[in-house]
Amino acid sequence: MEIRDTLQLRSFAEYKEAYQESISNPEKFWDAIAEKFYWHKRWDKTLQWDFTKPEVKWFEGGKLNITENCLDRHLEKLGNKTAIIWEPNDPDEESRHITYRQLFIKVCHFANVLKNNGIKKGDRVCLYMPMIPELAIAMLACARIGAVHSIVFAGFSSTAIASRINDSKCKLLITANEVYRGAKPVKLKEMCDEALKTTPSIETVIVYRRTVEPTPMQEGRDKFWFDELQKVEKECPAEIMDAEDMLFILYTSGSTGRPKGMVHTIGGYMVYTGYTFANVFQCDHFAPTNTIPQKKYDGDIYWCTADIGWITGHSYILYGPLAMGATTVMFEGVPSYPDYGRFWEICDKLNVTHFYTAPTAIRALAKQPIELVNQHDLSSIKVLGSVGEPINEEAWHWYNDNIGKGNSPIVDTWWQTETGGVMISPLAGITPTRPTFATLPLPGIQPVLMDENGNEIEFRSQQSEGRLAIKFPWPSIARTIYGDHQRYKEVYFSTYNNMYFTGDGAYRDATGNYRITGRVDDVVIVSGHNLGTAPIENAINEHLAVAESAIVGFPHDIKGTALYAYVTLHDGKQASDQLIQEIREQVSNTIGPIAKPDKVQFVTALPKTRSGKIMRRILRKIASKDTSNLGDTSTLLNPDVVQEIMDNAL
């Protein structure tokens, strides 16, 4: 029996029973799940926690290596099963199928390259890689030897790479020379070279050659992936790690200042991502009562379209699926290349059974001619997933009707970089779904809604709306912000007493189903990407002509939310189209193209409270063209400016 079979809940009754057990006896509940994984030594203490410090430890004293759970343990039965199917950007290039055994060999081999370049347990390694199997190999190779990976999404700018490398003092950087995404070449190594001018901690750069183009290399520091492999052996025993040792750091936007390096530790993250992958997606298994017809393919093919540079890719392209012995697809390209039928073409070609994407992609694809969908055979699809932002009613129905053909359950999965794994979601084919609702908490998750006075809104079969917090720890909660535990405490544990605050607002229906309504803080989600307003404002303010700026989100058909910048200029500086271009470029260079504001409005002043705080609520309403009820503006320092901003709004 595969590990997956031992973990999967098979009916709604089983889910409810598991949920009850997880609340009344959490330690016993998680013990039984963790026991299904491979440990060198069992843990001494299942859970130790104190949200006031905050401190959370799971499976303390347990010894393990996550790669033995993702690779070695599968070799006997699943060695020849495909672990990763890689689909290139260019449809004319061959796909790659990598079996569990091949992946195991490649990971061990590359782990020795890391060792040979001086990387030891605990060292941080930065990865700035395209979506190619070598990214997965490099991550697992780090985990094999106990090094900590810190992946920087390959759409980020050199400034963003440098600040992340410096924050966690990475010793080694792994990248690729360049990559094609859509029709555009992206010169990753050049981006790194720019960053490397200000990253003194980096001693070595390993470069994978994705294309044959010449690559600038710095003697002594930069080395080619393939050359390095020639120098080392293929066997690499797994480093035995403590459950609470760091597995990775992943940066996410904060509402103020620097990005936050969220720290995830090995044991809890492995147990939770494995367990939730098995149950949310129900790969290779359906409940006896399931209503889902068996479609054209026997073995399930699971495809999550996220980039591994985000948490979704970490947990549900790589670690969760591999821990459960699933076949996971990695796609290098974009949904629009060579045309907007690309996702469906891949689903058809690979017989994808589980398709997991973001609402922003769904909305963009729904705008295209329906023939782009209908010319492909999507009958292999059994389960659809959504993640990253609230899915609107229209997108939900389009997805359900046209991709799922009305008989593939949609799992709307709510979670965060900080939570490590899915928190609120239906179990495919088991939990009754409701359009736009993430539905019910997974076993082990205790969500609560808080009112504006900071009191818990009790669940008494009535509808309610509030801010979403979680009142009990789960195994994959981030343990800290790298190098800044105080900030971790302030951001997540100081809003409510003894609870983790998510930053999201939510609505709960009379049966207890949750719908996440969106961020309540200064984080804006653009095309599913979590962006802090403060770093974007900082980037804009660096422009010499700019005095001050405020960024807010406004509703956008495809992106869900797009960015609107209000900018004031220094005396004597003139507004112009040229200046708008420069401001957009400035943001692109500092953060990345995804953070470029769609609209830039020059204003004489920003509306401020008497204590000098920008009234974003008002700016948000103006940007959203929702000015009927601006609320009380009389308390502003400069109430007159509101009318002026409204008159000139874009």
Closer residue to ligand WTA, CB minimum distance, 389 or 537: 389
Q: Minimal distance in Å, beta carbon 570 to ligand WTA?
A: 35
Q: Residue 262 CB, nearest distance to ligand WTA (Å)?
A: 8
The minimum distance between CB 418 and ligand WTA, in angstroms, equals 7
Shortest distance in whole angstroms from residue 449 CB to ligand WTA: 15
Pick from 87, 178, 284, 504: which binds ligand WTA (CB under 6 A)? Answer: 504
Q: Does 206 bind ligand WTA (CB under 6 A)?
A: no
* 540 CB-near residues (< 8 Å, 6+ apart): 546, 549, 551, 565, 567, 583, 586, 587
In which residue are the tokens 């002026």 written? 644
In the complex with ligand WTA, the residue whose CB is nearer, 137 or 383, is: 383
Q: Identify which range of 81-89, 406-414, 447-455, 473-481 contacts ligand WTA by CB under 6 A.
A: 406-414
CA 410 to chain centre: 19
CB 155 within 8 Å of CB 528: no
Q: How far is the CB of 19 from ligand WTA (least distance, A)?
A: 19
Site for ligand WTA contains 525 (CB under 6 A): yes
Q: Which is nearer to ligand WTA, 252 or 590 (CB)?
A: 252
Burial (CB < 10 A; 0-12, 13-18, 19+), residue 548, is middle
- Calpha distance 44→159 (Å, rounded): 43
113 interacts with ligand WTA by CB under 6 A: no
Nearer to ligand WTA, 207 or 311 (CB): 311
CA distances from 169 to 147, 173, 194, 196 (A): 13, 11, 17, 12
Among 167, 239, 245, 412, binds ligand WTA (CB under 6 A): 412
Could you say whether residue 519 binds ligand WTA (CB under 6 A)?
A: yes
Kindly state the smallest distance separating residue 316's Cβ from ligand WTA, in Å.
Answer: 9
CB atoms within 10 A of CB 364: 18
Q: Between residues 387 and 442, which has the closer beta carbon with respect to ligand WTA?
A: 387
Binding of ligand WTA at residue 559 (CB under 6 A)? no
CB of 487 to ligand WTA, least distance (A): 16
Tell me how far apart the alpha carbons of residues 273 and 280 are, in angstroms, rounded to a whole number.
10
Query: Which window, 287-295, 501-509, 567-575, 626-634, contacts ligand WTA (CB under 6 A)?
Result: 501-509
Q: Which stretch binds ligand WTA (CB under 6 A): 184-192, 206-214, 498-506, 593-601?
A: 498-506
Q: Which H or E element spans position 449?
A: strand 447-450
Nearest approach, Cβ of residue 530 and ligand WTA (Å): 4
Taking the complex as a whole, how short is the minimal distance between the CB of residue 442 and ligand WTA, in angstroms? 13
CA angle at 204 for the pair 202 and 205, rounded to the nearest 5°: 100
CA distance 305 to 96: 16
CB closer to ligand WTA out of 319 and 602: 319
- Given a contact cutoff of 8 angstroms between Cβ atoms, the answer to whether 139 and 149 are in contact is yes
Whole-angstrom CA distances from 320 to 55, 81, 324 are 24, 16, 6
Token pair 């020379």: residue: 177
In contact, 503 and 525? CB cutoff 8 Å = no
- Is residue 414 part of the contact set for ligand WTA (CB under 6 A)? yes
Q: Is 415 in the site for ligand WTA (CB under 6 A)?
A: yes
DSSP state of 75: H
Separation of alpha carbons 358 and 291, rounded Å: 25
Nearest distance in Å: CB 142, ligand WTA: 21
Restricted to residues 369-388, the positions that interact with ligand WTA (CB under 6 A) are 386-388
Task: Tell me the DSSP string of 278-310.
Answer: HHHH-TT---TT--PPP-S-SS--EEE-S-TTS
Alpha carbon distance 492, 431 (integer Å): 29
Number of chain positions touching ligand WTA (CB under 6 A) = 24
Site for ligand WTA in 176-205 (CB under 6 A): none
Assess 522 for contact with ligand WTA (CB under 6 A): no
Q: Which is nearer to ligand WTA, 179 or 311 (CB)?
A: 311
- Min dist. Cβ of residue 373 to ligand WTA (A): 22
Residue 390 found at the interface with ligand WTA (CB under 6 A):
yes
Query: Nearest distance from residue 527's CB to ligand WTA, in Å?
Result: 11
SS3 string of 599-615?
EEEECCCCCEECCCCEC
Q: Is 389 in the site for ligand WTA (CB under 6 A)?
A: yes
The pattern of x and - marking residues 248 through 267 that bind ligand WTA according to CB under 6 A reads ----x---------------
CA gap 138, 129 in Å, rounded:
10
Contact 610, 637 (CB under 8 A): yes
Say whether residue 561 binds ligand WTA (CB under 6 A). no
Q: Name beta bridge partners: 515.
A: 507
Interactions with ligand WTA, residue window 284-313 (CB under 6 A)? 310-312
Cα–Cα nearest to 255, from 589, 582, 490: 490
Mask for 432-471, x = binds ligand WTA (CB under 6 A): ------x---------------------------------
CB nearer ligand WTA, residue 119 or residue 516: 516
Confirm or reject binding of residue 417 to ligand WTA (CB under 6 A): yes
Residue 225 or residue 310: which is nearer to ligand WTA going by CB?
310
The residue at minimum Cβ distance from ligand WTA is 417
Contact 181, 333 (CB under 8 A): yes
Residues in Cβ contact with 634 at an 8 Å cutoff, skipping those fewer than 6 apart: none
Characterise 354 by phi-psi region: left (phi > 0), alpha (psi -120 to 50), beta (else).
beta
CB 473 within 8 A of CB 56: yes
d(CA 456, CA 465): 11
Stretch of 97-105, 269-277, 497-505, 538-546 lying at the interface with ligand WTA (CB under 6 A):
497-505
Taking CB under 6 A as the binding criterion, the range among 50-58, 217-225, 267-275, 410-418 that sits at the site for ligand WTA is 410-418
- Per-residue CA distances from 327 to 304, 345, 565 (Å): 11, 18, 43
Residue 242 touches ligand WTA, criterion: CB under 6 A: no
User: Would you tell me which residues interact with ligand WTA (CB under 6 A)?
Assistant: 252, 310-312, 386-390, 412-417, 438, 502-504, 516, 518-519, 525, 530
